[in-house]
Amino acid sequence: MSKRIGLVVYPQFQALDMAALTVFEFANTLLEQPLYELAALSLSGGPVKSSSGVAIDSLPLGWGGYDTLLIGGAIGMPAPQPELEAALRDGASVTRRIGSVCTGAFILARAGLMDGKRATTHWVFGRRLQELHPSLLVDEDKIFVRDGTIWSSAGVTACIDMALAMVEDDLGTEIARKVARAMVVYHRRSGGQSQFSALAEIEPSSDRVKDVLLYARDNLHKDLSVEDLAAQVHWSPRHFSRVFQAQTGMAPAKAIEKLRVEAAQALIDQGHSSIGRIAEMTGFGDEERLRRAFLRAFGQPPKNFVQQARLRNEHVYLS
């Protein structure tokens, strides 16, 4: 029996979100009998213009016949759409799974379908989603999140990761891997992976400075003084500091702190709860240095992140 997959669109939706349907389309090509029937849906049907100005035809949103509904996102935060939100709310009980793409999470949240759920959205809008919907537990740094029958993805291309995870859930790892290979994307950027990394944010222009950062990332437990870093590229410490600052806009010590904070946050997300041990593993050396770095980066101490991670894990276990 085929599974009907619908992408719900609305005026000014982000056209790249259609890529989620492409994942299911590629899965069909690998099966002896295609499993997925795909459709673009809107409240009333007919042409719907995307934010790029390109319009797509859509079928009227109906209930009872869709296995999976995906709610497309927009460039910004979508305006309230009471009729669409009411339709989603009324029909959720007869749909096996519902997912939001990017800022489509705001639509699902306004429909009440994310109440008490873990969710994510584009990292730019994560805090706003949390503020507007305090009953949610927003993981603003995740590629995608699954909480029961409700799924949500981060911005734009993260919809591919979420759709691949859905295909893997339906058809197994090997089919999902083949789909990813055919689409020339990573098979598994796990739902817990960061939406962006400190290395990407620092983004130096030369390979030599990039190599130093990769060395630092893999050796955070070491001292990583300017002298040590400069020796990796056979430069003097003074020349290295000047080139590094020019290419990245920050001092080497600041960049190393960013890498260490990111590594510490990842350890907390993985379930590590000893602040002292995390400080030791990431090169901070002691809890106070780690605490000060987290306050500079996030405005809150690491113990808050440990508590939040514990709550998330308890919520997943109970659900």
State the Cα–Cα distance between residues 119 and 230, nearest whole angstrom: 42
In the prediction, which pLDDT does 68 show?
A: 97
**pLDDT tens per residue across span 267-309:** 887 788 899 999 999 999 999 999 999 998 888 899 988 887 7
Given a cut of 60, whether residue 194 has pLDDT beyond it is no
Angle of helix 287-298 versus helix 252-269 axis, rounded to 10: 100
Cross-strand pairs, 42: 60
State the Cα–Cα distance between residues 100 and 10, nearest whole angstrom: 13
CA dihedral 65, 178, 164, 29 (to 10 degrees): -20
Classify residue 44 by burial, with Cβ atoms within 10 Å: 0-12, 13-18, 19+: exposed
Nearest Cα residue to 253 out of 231, 226, 228, 227: 226
State the Cα–Cα distance between residues 22 and 163, nearest whole angstrom: 9
Domain 198-316: which CATH number of 3.40.640.10, 3.40.50.720, 3.30.565.10, 1.10.10.60: 1.10.10.60
- Segments in the chain forming alpha helices (H): 19-29, 82-91, 104-110, 126-132, 158-171, 173-183, 198-202, 207-218, 226-232, 237-248, 252-269, 275-281, 287-298, 302-318
- Taking the CB of residue 47, how many other CB atoms lie within 10 A of it? 9
In the prediction, which pLDDT does 318 show?
A: 43
State the Cα–Cα distance between residues 99 and 151, nearest whole angstrom: 4
**pLDDT tens per residue across span 143-168:** 899 999 999 999 889 999 999 999 99
Q: Is 186 in contact with 180 (CB distance < 8 Å)?
A: yes
State the Cα–Cα distance between residues 143 and 196, nearest whole angstrom: 9
Regarding the domain delimited by 3-183, which CATH topology (the fold level of the hierarchy) does it fall under? Rossmann fold (3.40.50)
Chain-wide mean pLDDT for the chain? 90
**pLDDT tens per residue across span 7-30:** 999 999 999 999 999 999 999 999
What are the strands of the beta sheet with 59-60, ordered from one edge? 59-60, 36-42, 3-8, 68-71, 97-100, 150-153, 144-147
Q: Mention every residue, 6+ apart, whose C-beta is less than 8 A from residue 140.
A: 120, 121, 123, 126, 127, 129, 130, 195
In the prediction, which pLDDT does 188 show?
A: 61
Return the residue matching tokens 């993985």.
Answer: 270
pTM over 0.85: no
* More confident call, 161 vs 188: 161
Return the residue matching tokens 């990573």.
Answer: 186
Please report, for the chain, the start and end positions of each structural domain, with discontinuous segments joined by +: 3-183, 198-316
State the Cα–Cα distance between residues 34 and 3, nearest whole angstrom: 9
- Taking the CB of residue 197, how many other CB atoms lie within 10 A of it? 14
